[in-house]
Amino acid sequence: MNARITFPTFALAAATLFGAASVAPAVIVDSSTFDNQYNGDAYPVPGYTNSAQPSPLPSTNGNILSYDAPVSQAQFTHNSWAVTSNDGYTIEFSVKINDTANAQGSGGTFAVAFGDGSAGDIFSVGTNFTKVGNNAVTANTAINTDAQHLFRITVLQDGGGIGAPTINFYRDAVLIHTWANGGNFASNVLIWGGIGSTYGGGGVELDYFRWDNDGAYEPPVIPEPTSLALIACGGLLAMRRRR
C-alpha cells in the first residue's frame, strides 16, 4: 500500500497559535505513487474512441506520447474507471502544448472529462490558458507551450454530501481554481484528449497521465529556482564545514 504523508498546513499552525478552530492537515502525495499510471511509453489502450484518427498517428519515444489533435478527435478512455465517492480521487498529468497548423479549439487543445458517478466536469489546457467546465471559466492564462507543465485535479467529498464535492485545480502545484459541485458529468467517466467540437487542435506532448481513487491529495510543492539555489549553497557550506 502506498504511503500517504500528511503535513500540517499554515492554517493549522495559525489555528494552534491563536486558538482558532482546528484545521485538518493537508494530505500531500506524489503522483509517482498513484495506483493507475500511463507514462507515455506505449500506445494507450484501448486507444481512440473516435473512428476518425489523426494523421500522422501518435508516436512515442519511450517517454513522451506525441500527436497532432484535430478538433473532436484523439480521445482516449479508461473503461475500468471506478472511484469510491466517499473518499474522493485525484488526477494528475504532465503535458506540453505545441502550436501547429491546426488552430486549437476554443476550449483548448487537451481536455480531461471526469466523473465519479455523482459529479464531475471538464478541465482543458490550451496554448495560453486553462479552462474549467464545458469551456466555461478561464482559470489561468499562463503559457503552456514553453515546457511540460503539471496539472492536478482533486475531488474532495467535504461535507456537501456525495454529488456535491469541492474540486480543486492546480498548475505546477499552485491552486488556480476551485469548482464546487462540477455539473457536466454525473456518471463514471475518464476521457482525455479532444472531447467534442470545442476541444483539440494543435499538438500534444504527454509525459504521463495518472490517477488515484483513494483520496483527494494535494501536490508536493515545487521549489522555485531561488529556493533551489539556496539549498545548493547550504549544501556547499555544510561540505566546507565538514572539511
Residue range 32-44, pLDDT digits in tens: 999 888 888 876 6
Which whole number is the average pLDDT over 77-98? 78
Let me know: does 123 contact 149? Beta carbons within 8 Å: no
DSSP letter (8 states) at residue 240: H
Beta bridge partners of 97: 204
- Would 78 be classed as within a structural domain? yes
**What is the residue range of 162's domain?**
33-219
179 inside domain = yes
Domain assignment present for residue 187? The answer is yes
Q: Is residue 148 part of a domain?
A: yes
Query: What pLDDT does 4 receive?
Result: 46
Residue 225 lies in a domain: no
d(CA 182, CA 185): 7
Q: What whole-number distance in Å separates Cα of residue 149 and Cα of residue 173?
A: 10
The pairing of beta strand 120-125 with beta strand 166-171: unpaired
Provide mean pLDDT across the span 100-121. Answer: 84
Q: What is the mean pLDDT of residues 2-9?
A: 41
3-state DSSP helix/strand/coil % of the chain, to nearest 5: 10, 35, 50
Is 21 a domain residue?
Answer: no
pLDDT, one tens digit per residue, over 134-187 is 888 999 999 999 999 999 999 987 755 566 788 999 999 999 999 887 788 878
The verdict on residue 11 lying in a domain is: no
What is the pLDDT averaged over residues 74-89?
A: 67
pTM for the model? 0.79
Answer whether residue 22 is part of any domain: no
As a whole number, the mean pLDDT across the chain is 76
Count of structural domains within the chain: 1
Return the pLDDT at 162. 61
Question: Greater confidence, 61 or 50?
Answer: 61
**105-122 mean pLDDT:** 87
Q: Which position has the grid cell 531561488?
A: 226
Average pLDDT over residues 100-125: 85
Q: What was the pLDDT predicted at 142?
A: 97
CA separation for the pair 110, 36 (Å, rounded): 20
**CATH code for the domain in which residue 45 is found:** 2.60.120.200
User: 2: pLDDT confidence band, cut at 50, 70 and 90?
Assistant: very low
Residue 68 scores a pLDDT above 70: yes
